[in-house]
Structure 1
Amino acid sequence: MTSNTDIIQVQPSAVTPRSSGGPKVTSERKTPIVTKENRKRHSQPSTSVKEMITYFEVKKNKDPSMKSEIQEKKLPYLRVSVLCFHFELVLAIELNFLNELNKSLALRITVSKSSIKPNCSRETHEMKHPVQHYILVVQAQDSGHPALSSTLTVYCNVLDLNDNAPLFDPMSYSNEVFENVTVGTAVVTVSATDADSGKNRQIVYSITSGNEEDEFEILQNGSIVTRKLLDRESQAVYNLVVTATDQAVAPERRLSSTVQVTILLKDVNDMAPEFITPNETSVAENIPINTVVMAIKAVDKDEGRNGYIEYSLSNDPVTNGVFSLGPADGLLRVGGKIDREMTSNYTLVVTARDRGDPPKMTNMRLFVKVLDENDNSPIFDPKQYSASISENASIGASVLQFTSPQVSATDIDDNLNGRVRYSISSGDANRDFTIAEDSGVVRVAKNLNYERKSRYELIVRAEDCAGDINGAAVRSDTAKISISVSDINDNPPTFLDSPYLAYVMENTIPPNGGYVITVKAYDADTPPFNNLVKYFIKEGDTDIFRINASTGDISLLRALDREIQDEYILSLVAMDTGK
């Protein structure tokens, strides 16, 4: 039997000699000699803070009893002195246990010649249930003949010391719950036990970490319940630290322990897909079929099938066949011919649908702008124009304006591809005309002269401005402009072969009415200004000579005498009929 430090010991010095006739029976309580031993070599780490003294007197034919309380783990040992009347006292001890299950563990006693050594503890690590009460029956017997004895029953209550912290079983908890549980739903229940008694074993639970947003609360039965609606998409896992604290009377003596609680939220299909791509894009016209226009992307914060997204396009007569959409990858592709001049933009309705039960879906209106390609040339309609302008028109005077609806050139392309600029490509070598590049207005650049050139055949070119875009090839068209210059009376008649010289014989009159010579004047202007030239004799012998105003024929009116005057000089005038 192992020895320990708790001792109930009979002191030899406290034994009184026995008189003849057996032990002395008395009702008087005498104070025994009580001593204290502290055998450190047997002591456990928990040492005593006070000593409990128990004493009694052995009396004949009497079965005394006593009651005592001792705080667990408080004293290293206990000494009880027994008063006897014989020096050769033999001490016998008989033990009875209140809890038979702990008979071999709750109390151990060593009996020597003069001492009893018990080890009393309310809880031991080997006990399933703590022992709170001990009953000891102590018998003192002398060595006489016959032997006389006396017994004492000791009732010992072990007072609890708050020396045990609450213990969780198991050491950690984990549970899964659906994210849409209602407020007040129990998600997990923890349990802790305390081997102490009374308030020392009463446990209060609290959540000391991981519950910053107060989503959970813990009831005093250990059930953790929801205080708010949960959302897996915001937080999928909660790692809570739950503390169990006993309720010892002195708050500073309270003991606690913690346990890790993991709560996993299971997904429900509560989130609809959300598009993260822009709702507008562009595509160039005439691009090949199956060309990828854009990748449409939607996200679903759910998981598993609830977060798997399929894409589709709504049926629309305008867009049917023009575009196709990959159901899994969301790639928008060209499905047919795209011509901006026929349709400059499209509005597609894209649907993103998850595979939940029931599924959730989101629609997005996608605006697709068709980018222009320079696939159309400017067109003159009609392709031939005519104009008339007076030769005395001032410089800058407008001849023809091509921006009017009847004579302009149009290009149905867009932006620079459809912007038309004009130029005179031929028919005006002298650059008598200019054309405004942007408006197509034809203007007089120099003084015109009908007599120099009365008609122009200009070739006007209309081309787009695609060349301004990275030097791309331009497209063009041409038209013909016929410009007639109208004459004005700006030229006087001019005598041909001036000066004229004629000879006549003296003393005779020429035949044919005295005809001498015909003068002729030319007028560069057009009829009716130059078809009637009038002739007059401005200076000279008008009494001798006559001129036909219409024909310019000069006639001699009478015969001449050379010896009198051998030469005559006439000054003639030719005049047109213009104004």
Structure 2
Amino acid sequence: MFINALSKRICYVLEYLSSCNSLSTSKKMLDRTMAWQVAVLFLFLLSVSSTHGQASYSIPEEMSKGSVVGNIAQDLGLDLKRLKSGKARIYTGDNTEYIELNKEKGVLAIRERIDREALCGQTTPCALHFQVILDNPMEFYSVTVEITDVNDNAPHFKNSEMEFKIGELALPGARFVLGKAMDLDIGTNGLLNYSLKPTDNFALKVQNEVDGGQNIEMVLQKPLDREIKDHIALILTATDGGNPKLSGTAEIHITVLDANDNAPVFTQAIYKTSTVENAPRGTVLTTVTASDADLGSYGKIAYTITNKADGIVELFSINESDGELKVIGDIDFETVQRFEIHIQASDEGGLSDSSKVIVDVVDINDNKPVINLMSKSPVLSEDAKPGTVITMINIQDQDSADNGKVHCMTDENMPFTLKSSSNNFFSLVTDGHLDREQNPLYNISVTCSDEGVPSLSSSISLSLQISDVNDNAPVFERSSYEAFVLENNSPGLSVFSVKAKDADWNQNSRVSYIMEESVVNGVPVSSFVSVNAESGVIHAVRSFDYEQIKDFTFHIKAQDGGSPPLSSSVLVKIVIQDQNDNAPQILYPVQSSGSLVAEIVPRSADVGYLVTKVVAVDVDSGQNAWLSYKLQKAQDKALFEVGSQNGEIRTIRQVTDKDAVKQKLIVIVEDNGQPPRSATVSINVALADSFPEVLSEFSDFTHDKEYNDNLTFYLVLALAVVSFLFIVSIIAILSVKCYRWRRERMFYKSNGNLPVIPYYPPLYADVGGTGTLQHMYNYEVYRTTDSRKSGLNYGRPCSESIVSLDNTSTLPPAHREKLINEDFDDEVSFVFEISDFPTQ
């Protein structure tokens, strides 16, 4: 085998050297023939060392009849006598003999001219396999002759002329698929490049595909103008890489059309499908689809197969209108394993797009794989780490070679994968993180396919239950809540409810609601509202007053029952809504008991004269605080009016002499609540041009006012004096008691050995004999019929107490202590004498 490989490489080197010769064509052919003869001679020398029982040779195609292929007798270690006696002969099996055996010389020679392209087509390597058989005794030898390519075929286009209809509105960059040229040669002798002339409007774009093929497109470089030139002729040239280079040409005729500015566009650049060999004619392989944004005839798409030169149109056809690709010929896997069908979608405006359909031909396979479950886990925790084994699978296929090689796969978009542990053994493992909340149950389908042609497969379904883990915190239905409560509500009122959901299961999804501690206006929020731990219903703990608090916020926490528990919180805002629970308050004019409110209006006042303005407020809000003013009562309603919005009292006619001087008005102030609340104010109006006239009319009211003012003053003064004396007496009593207690403590601590203290006997001059107070005050209030002359008299002290000093230091201690105790036992009393008011 090493010698065979070496001989092939030598042939390639000689062929390359021969192609690089710069002599004339005839000279090149001569040198190439000589090079091949040298190569053949060298192979004769190498074949002596070939393995007994087989021989391999390599020759170029198109060798003349009788040309020597190789010395088979020498290569197989046989002498000429053995070839003759054994009746040596060649067996090919297909009755096609390109090689003959010369038993006289022991060599293999060319019997028929060999055309590699006719023999093998594009298949490489191309080789003849036959056997040399001898009798007496019977011997069998295998011989392989590789046929190498010679550049004896020029590239050619199946269609020497190509026609395109292109709209003048086609944009630069528009692509048009050109038919590929065919070159029956292979390797460097095959097709390498294309050229397009002239290049005024179009350029040639050759794309090398991954599989080694080429896609030939004509690209518009600059816009076309039908009015200038409505027909363009181009020459497409295909050149191979042989020596000498051979080429072929095709003419391209372009007709410029009007106003088609949208080319068809395929939904896919490459379509892939497969079919079994010998598929019935009419079998639908796939459907290609293209769309065109144009309307009418320019939007109507026709599908055609463009690569007609390589026999595609004899095997496949496409429906021109719907793009359905069908089989119309006999497909042979041994001949071609893959087809590349180039599809062109063209509209009636001449614009087109191209796509490619790859058809894989598969052979026949008759045994399905057998899947055996060795073990499995029916339940898996959702926090299982990637790579956790779920089950073990054993695969058995009775087929051999590639038909017995099995590959297994699982459903896509599932967090599971199969890993091969050994031959025909697979482990199904997790390939990602599991989430029970999204998929609590997986039905995993495992499909095992062999490598036979066509591939056969078997599948099983596994049911896997995911157990729950507390990995989801409760989630509130809303990011924040806002509720409205009317003030003056009853305690315990259900305000509203919050709701949170937990995606976990069972105990992990059980939600409890807790109100987080916070302070509202210095008071814990729990004194305002409470939340039901089970239902999330929020209750009012107290009655709300809109005038004190208008809104407040707090947080509710939702906690699940997992271990450890998870929680989340939400902001809740309670808005207190106002009710009409406050009546309007009159700020001006000020009303007081016994007081006089009077406004003077000159009799010469004009119509619309501003008498006064009633000012009122309402502590409610909104429409509950909208105030309106009405004149409820008046002596002459035709004289005054009140502004309903501003409370201004104005005259509505001229004042006359017949109008009374004293006018009394009652104004009612009413809010806009439901039901409405109101307040009234009385206003005295004097119609006079001079102040004495007003005093004479309202003098009785002035006297009453002064009398009430004096009476109030005296009462307040008397109350203040009594309170002061009461406080002084309390302080004196506490001081005496404290002094006695301290003296007793000192006496007991010293065991009666106190220093001699002078004793002063209580010689008080007590007036009235009611206590120890030194002064007694008499209060007398007197009144007259004229309250302005009433007054309060303070009496002078009638006497003073005189304390006599006496020296008691000579008394015995027991008598001295008794006198001291008697002195501290005296009580303090106060005497107040208040005379009654005189009768009026």
Superposition TM-score, scaled by structure 2 size: 0.35
CA distance in 1, matches of 2:482, 2:393: 54
Determine the structure 2 residue equivalent to 1:203: 406
C-alpha displacement of 1:300: 1.1
CA distance in 1, matches of 2:552, 2:695: 65
Unaligned runs of 5+ in 1: 1-160, 403-407, 467-471, 490-524, 529-579
Determine the structure 1 residue equivalent to 2:528: 322
Is the contact made by 2:580 and 2:620 (CA closer than 8 Å) also made in structure 1?
Answer: yes
Pair 1:264-2:465 in alignment: yes
Give per-residue Cα distances to partners, 1:456-490, cap 9 Å, x unaligned: 22111111112xxxxx322111111222233289x
Determine the structure 2 residue equivalent to 1:99: none
Pair 1:193-2:400 in alignment: no
Residue 606 of structure 2 is aligned with which of 364, 371, 394? 394
C-alpha displacement of 1:164: 3.6
Unaligned runs of 5+ in 2: 1-363, 697-840
Pair 1:283-2:485 in alignment: yes
CA distance in 1, matches of 2:434, 2:526: 43
C-alpha displacement of 1:255: 2.4
CA distance in 2, matches of 1:191, 1:375: 84
Instruction: Report the residue type matching 2:546 in the other structure.
Output: R
Determine the structure 2 residue equivalent to 1:56: none
Determine the structure 2 residue equivalent to 1:383: 591
1:193-232 alignment, distance < 5 Å: 193-207=396-410, 209=411, 211=412, 213=413, 215-221=415-421, 222-232=426-436
Pair 1:246-2:450 in alignment: yes
Instruction: Report the residue type matching 2:427 in the other structure.
Output: S
SS in 2 for 1:416: helix
Instruction: Report the residue type matching 2:550 in the other structure.
Output: S
C-alpha displacement of 1:322: 2.1
Is the contact made by 2:374 and 2:394 (CA closer than 8 Å) also made in structure 1?
Answer: no
Cα separation, partners in 2 of 1:231 and 1:526, compared to 1, 3 Å? closer
CA distance in 2, matches of 1:526, 1:346: 56
* Higher relative contact order, structure no. (Cα contacts within 8 Å, ≥ 6 residues apart): 1
Pair 1:425-2:628 in alignment: no
CA distance in 1, matches of 2:571, 2:635: 56
Residue 368 of structure 2 is aligned with which of 156, 165, 180? 165
Instruction: Report the residue type matching 1:325 in the other structure.
Output: V
C-alpha displacement of 1:169: 2.6
CA distance in 2, matches of 1:526, 1:357: 89
Superposition TM-score, scaled by structure 1 size: 0.50
Residue 577 of structure 2 is aligned with which of 371, 376, 382? 371
Cα separation, partners in 2 of 1:284 and 1:527, compared to 1, 3 Å? closer
CA distance in 2, matches of 1:486, 1:261: 110
C-alpha displacement of 1:184: 4.0
Pair 1:475-2:677 in alignment: yes
Is the contact made by 1:172 and 1:261 (CA closer than 8 Å) also made in structure 2?
Answer: no
Cα separation, partners in 2 of 1:170 and 1:186, compared to 1, 3 Å? closer
SS in 2 for 1:320: helix
Is the contact made by 2:380 and 2:465 (CA closer than 8 Å) also made in structure 1?
Answer: yes
Determine the structure 1 residue equivalent to 2:545: 339
CA distance in 1, matches of 2:511, 2:581: 39
SS in 1 for 2:608: coil
Cα separation, partners in 2 of 1:236 and 1:395, compared to 1, 3 Å? farther
Cα separation, partners in 2 of 1:361 and 1:526, compared to 1, 3 Å? closer
Residue 179 of structure 1 is aligned with which of 382, 385, 389? 382
CA distance in 2, matches of 1:224, 1:397: 101
CA distance in 2, matches of 1:305, 1:527: 89
Give per-residue Cα distances to partners, 1:514-556, cap 9 Å, x unaligned: xxxxxxxxxxx9999xxxxxxxxxxxxxxxxxxxxxxxxxxxx
Cα separation, partners in 2 of 1:373 and 1:171, compared to 1, 3 Å? farther
CA distance in 1, matches of 2:605, 2:418: 104
Instruction: Report the residue type matching 1:271 in the other structure.
Output: N
CA distance in 1, matches of 2:694, 2:591: 30
Determine the structure 2 residue equivalent to 1:299: 501
| Higher helix fraction (1 or 2) | 2
Is the contact made by 1:174 and 1:262 (CA closer than 8 Å) also made in structure 2?
Answer: no
Determine the structure 2 residue equivalent to 1:434: 641
CA distance in 1, matches of 2:695, 2:541: 70
SS in 2 for 1:383: coil
Instruction: Report the residue type matching 1:217 in the other structure.
Output: T
Determine the structure 2 residue equivalent to 1:113: none
Q: Which has the larger Rg?
A: 1
C-alpha displacement of 1:429: 3.1
Determine the structure 1 residue equivalent to 2:805: none
Please report the RMSD computed on the Cα atoms of aligned residues, expressed in angstroms: 3.0
Is the contact made by 1:450 and 1:485 (CA closer than 8 Å) also made in structure 2?
Answer: no
CA distance in 2, matches of 1:325, 1:350: 8
Is the contact made by 2:374 and 2:391 (CA closer than 8 Å) also made in structure 1?
Answer: no
CA distance in 1, matches of 2:511, 2:625: 42
C-alpha displacement of 1:197: 4.7
CA distance in 1, matches of 2:471, 2:378: 21
Cα separation, partners in 2 of 1:302 and 1:447, compared to 1, 3 Å? same
Q: Percentage identity across aligned positions? A: 26
Cα separation, partners in 2 of 1:341 and 1:168, compared to 1, 3 Å? same
Is the contact made by 2:374 and 2:393 (CA closer than 8 Å) also made in structure 1?
Answer: no
